[in-house]
Structure 1
Amino acid sequence: MVRLKNDDSAYVGRYLAVVADGMGGHAGGNVASASTVLDLVHLDREDHDGEALTVLADEIQAANSLLSELVTTSPQLSGMGTTVTALLLHDSTFALAHIGDSRAYRLKNGVFEQISIDHTFVQRLIDEGRLRPEEAEVHPHKNVLMRVLGDVDASPELDLATFKVEPGERWLLCSDGLTAVLRDSDIESVLRNTKDIQRCVDILVELTLSGGSPDNVTVVVLEIAEAPDDSTLPAEADTARVPIIGSAADPSRVSEPTAVPRSSSQPEDPETGDDEPARAELIRQDLSQRPHVLVGAASLATETGQIPIVTKRSAERRSARLLTHKAAPEVEAPAQTEPAQRRRWLVPAFLALMTVLLAAVLWVGYTWTQTRYYVGASDNNVAIYNGVSQSLGPIRLSSVTETTDIPVDSLPEYQRNRVEGTIPAKDLLHAEQIVEDLRGTARTSSSCAPSAPGTPVQATPSPAPSPSGNAAPQPSASATPSAAASPAADPDNCGGRK
């Protein structure tokens, strides 16, 4: 109801269910979630080389590496990240991998419980006994993430666990758009009392939208069933037995993708007659071979090819594509026939022309760089630069326009890393606004996050009226030790705010 684009992605099939919530406060939240989900869909099969939990964890780590590669090739995506909550079924066991604040719930033998643990700043305060669960709902930093996939951490810490499953039990995966509006008791009531899982999803999404839906909402509901004898099933039975996924991303609430005009250098695909990326077509063919549901940014990726397309087929990882750098398929240039005789003046004239063109291109390029601005560090102070941060041999393409009185060391670690890596700005006014945002962050950094890696988080809970009773912390399903992790933050916060 509020977001201009959908940063959520989700997939569910016979053996795999995954929800990813891209960090909407950064450029490329939809890129991060779509890339991650599409890189995991090949796991939706019965057989795996190795233990399912290890396979799932390894593939998520590989997806994280791909996000880092995307940022390396496309700096404008710097700071993007995504949560991931995934279930992989093998025999009668679910492997769970989780990072971020998307959630996994289970209804089994009449018991409804939250299985995943939020990797947020307020949850850490709750775990340390410094904040009550009811106070977390109104805490000013309740959306600050401490762990996500992205270019922040080369090896993010995942929560991993396995669960024995039985026919009849239900699982629910969701992005935090659902839990931002509905309480756990409301979610439990719908999951318990709604027999049809498609209707269950519809009700949860409708309740979220009617509550204002401050964020994208994606809901997966799946139910465990005994696998019938395939020989007794009609051909269409598989489709009817697919776990159901629902999302607020229906056509009435999603803006149309921006059209990318075709360049004369972009040849049409000889088979389809258009310039749609071949990788998107390969993904569609792969997905068509098994029953599934795909929604959100990942669905848009397969339909348009206008955001990164990532998949893995026969152990080959496919490269990503960017909306702003849409490349055409490589086509071999036709062979040119050399003239029988070349005039003596042709080569010198050609070289002279190339020299003039090169000089013109260099001059135009240099002139363009002087219209750009970015925020970086100068003598340990935040400064505004005119130009671009790169150099052309011994020639620097930027100069300091303004040096502020904001020490780089006073910024939170994430903001400090961004400044040291340079923050691009659209113009001087935008650069000054970035500086003001950093100034505000520097003033409040001591109350938001550690001042140096490894320093415990210190924060004072916001006052709230004392309730009649204290809610007990949710049981942890994490199978990995807790460790301090680098908070993923946006320009408006000390941690990663979605």
Structure 2
Amino acid sequence: MTDPGTDSPEPTAEAPDAPPTPDAPADAPAEAAARPTLQLRFHAVSDVGRVRRDNQDSGYAGPWLLAVCDGVGGAARGDIASSTAIGELRQLDEPPGSVDVIDRVNDGIHEAHIAIGAQVDHDPALNGTSTTATVALFDGNRLAVGHVGDSRAYLLRDGELSQLTNDHTFVQSLIDEGRITEAEARVHPHRNLILKALDGLHEVEPDLFALELVPGDRLFLCSDGACGVLDDARLTELLADGSPEFASIELVRASLDAGSSDNVTCVVADVIDPAASPATPDSPPPPPLQPMVVGAAADLGRRRPRALFRGHRSGDTGELEPIAAEIPEGIGGHVVREDPPLDPEALRYAPQAPPRYVWARRLLGAAVVLGIVWVALGTAYWWTQQKYYVGEDHGYVVIYRGVNVPGLSNVYEVSDLKLDQLRDSTQDQIRDGDMIFDSFARARDEVTRIGQNARVTPSESGTPTTPPTSPTSPTTPTTPATSSGAADLTGATPGG
């Protein structure tokens, strides 16, 4: 494939190498030189393919207009988007007037965009549907091209194939940056991620350009079901021979044989000069071709799309009819059809319809999360209040309820046992809060045991006293006196 900027026509508003208008006198007015001198011989084919249940492609071919729209959206009915777009674009298929062809194409694409938005407004279930659009409008000399998405337009001139459009896809951006090759793009996991589409919601600016045509040119428009599986060499081979009808049919057949899992739509048109082969009594001119509408735009009123290549030379390539599953007798004797498997189109790259009641669902979810957190915190606090530990408060041994964490414990009972009456190891344990118990009774027993084992310390008075044998309710503790030589306090004043 050659680049349109090399040997093939430059896709700009005016091609510098435009051929002179045949039979136009040198002194003819400019408008006479611009009269249509060339014609299009065209054919269009669209096939649902071997995998899809529905054809979401739509195509159009007429004397002045060629167009391919690839609808996306899965459950949001991409076939509606593509057929709506073709319904608007086909109004461009009329002889050229005073308006420039590029402006007409731009207006047509925007009208299609607005029409899709009107469909979504009428039926909110279509929210999320969209379509690509590749449009080629002919005025008898020039071709104006408008493009959005990943459908493509090609030009075959003198045996060389040029891709006229540039894909609006994620992988194309990687190709443009030199990060992957064309071959790698064909198998990239995100090859179907498009960046532009007509959805009636997001404003989009199409790529617009024009080029001069010459007799012998062949135009080719297709959905990605064809160009996604056929490389440029294969496309050139299939476009090189035969009539537009033969070439379009073979292109669809070859795409299915190459393993395309998508709908396939191909539009082929030849540029001819009727003056080069004037009609004679022996060879009258061919009858004018009637416009062709294919794909979803033509199948929308039918019950099911038609697979064109069922049972051809490579075998049955059409989709299988759904199998009827009969309900056992006694339940009504009705015949129903099993639910089809998930259509891969539903997982395609178009944005899906947003769920309803988004804010209500978010608030409900937040309330559930907060409720779970509240219950968890309440349970944790309740658990901490079932614990007791022996600690110290203002120099006295006390019993705390809770765990030794700030804010999760409080003084439950104060004993009259002073901390400095205890052994050093016991003092360290009490300060660290290491004496933890599952009940208040066990904590109180431990304080009693500590009091019985408390060591005697000398005082200034020399009068021996001992702390109480068990903790009491909060009272004013009495400073114990000691007696030299006494090893432990027993809870009573020792005899002389």
Partner in structure 2 of residue 16 of structure 1: 65
**Aligned-pair distance for 1:41?**
1.1
Instruction: List per-residue Cα deviations over 1:314-347 (Å, max 9, x = no partner).
Output: xxxxxxxxxxxxxxxxxxxxxxxxxxxxxxxxxx
Partner in structure 2 of residue 3 of structure 1: 52
Partner in structure 2 of residue 124 of structure 1: 173
Residue identity over aligned pairs, in percent, reads: 34
Taking the aligned partners of 1:34 and 1:10, their CA distance within structure 2 comes to: 8
Q: 1:109 to 1:210 in 2, by over 3 A?
A: closer
Q: 1:97 to 1:383 in 2, by over 3 A?
A: same
What letter is aligned with 2:263? N
Partner in structure 1 of residue 208 of structure 2: 160
Partner in structure 1 of residue 78 of structure 2: 29
Instruction: List per-residue Cα deviations over 1:454-476 (Å, max 9, x = no partner).
Output: xxxxxxxxxxxxxxxxxxxxxxx
Taking the aligned partners of 1:305 and 1:233, their CA distance within structure 2 comes to: 46
Q: 1:72 to 1:137 in 2, by over 3 A?
A: same
Partner in structure 2 of residue 169 of structure 1: 217
Instruction: List per-residue Cα deviations over 1:422-463 (Å, max 9, x = no partner).
Output: xxxxxxxxxxxxxxxxxxxxxxxxxxxxxxxxxxxxxxxxxx
Taking the aligned partners of 2:75 and 2:368, their CA distance within structure 1 comes to: 24
Partner in structure 2 of residue 292 of structure 1: 291
Mark the structure with the bigger radius of gyration.
2
1:205 aligns with one of 227, 252, 256: 252
* Cα pair 1:78 1:151 within 8 Å, conserved: no
**Aligned-pair distance for 1:14?**
0.7
Instruction: List per-residue Cα deviations over 1:229-278 (Å, max 9, x = no partner).
Output: 999589x9787553xxxxxxxxxxxxxxxxxxxxxxxxxxxxxxxxxxxx
CA RMSD of aligned residues (A): 3.0
2:186 aligns with one of 137, 142, 154: 137
**Aligned-pair distance for 1:139?**
1.5
What letter is aligned with 2:219? W
What letter is aligned with 1:77? L
Taking the aligned partners of 2:130 and 2:117, their CA distance within structure 1 comes to: 10
How many residue pairs are counted as aligned between the two chains?
271
Does the alignment pair 1:83 with 2:82? no
Partner in structure 2 of residue 485 of structure 1: none
**Aligned-pair distance for 1:48?**
2.7
* Cα pair 2:155 2:219 within 8 Å, conserved: yes
* Cα pair 2:70 2:151 within 8 Å, conserved: yes
Pairing 1:181-200 to 2, within 5 Å after superposition: 181-192=229-240, 194-200=241-247
Taking the aligned partners of 2:285 and 2:89, their CA distance within structure 1 comes to: 21
What letter is aligned with 1:383? R
Q: What SS does the aligned partner of 1:150 have?
A: coil
Q: 1:230 to 1:206 in 2, by over 3 A?
A: closer
Between 1 and 2, higher relative CO (CA 8 Å, sep ≥ 6) is seen in: 1
Q: What SS does the aligned partner of 1:144 have?
A: coil
Q: What SS does the aligned partner of 1:383 have?
A: helix
Partner in structure 2 of residue 93 of structure 1: 142
* Cα pair 2:159 2:236 within 8 Å, conserved: no
Taking the aligned partners of 2:83 and 2:61, their CA distance within structure 1 comes to: 14
Q: 1:78 to 1:230 in 2, by over 3 A?
A: farther
* Cα pair 2:88 2:115 within 8 Å, conserved: no
What letter is aligned with 1:61? H
Instruction: List per-residue Cα deviations over 1:7-64 (Å, max 9, x = no partner).
Output: 0111101111101000043412000000100111121111334101101111110110
Partner in structure 1 of residue 264 of structure 2: 217
Q: 1:66 to 1:238 in 2, by over 3 A?
A: farther
**Aligned-pair distance for 1:213?**
2.6
**Aligned-pair distance for 1:130?**
2.8
Taking structure 2 as the reference length, what is the TM-score of the superposition?
0.50
* Cα pair 1:378 1:403 within 8 Å, conserved: no
Partner in structure 1 of residue 104 of structure 2: 55
Partner in structure 2 of residue 179 of structure 1: 227
Q: What SS does the aligned partner of 2:104 have?
A: helix
Q: What SS does the aligned partner of 2:143 have?
A: strand
Gaps of 5+ in 2: 1-49, 306-353, 370-496
Q: What SS does the aligned partner of 2:76 have?
A: coil
Pairing 1:397-476 to 2, within 5 Å after superposition: 400=364
Q: 1:404 to 1:81 in 2, by over 3 A?
A: farther
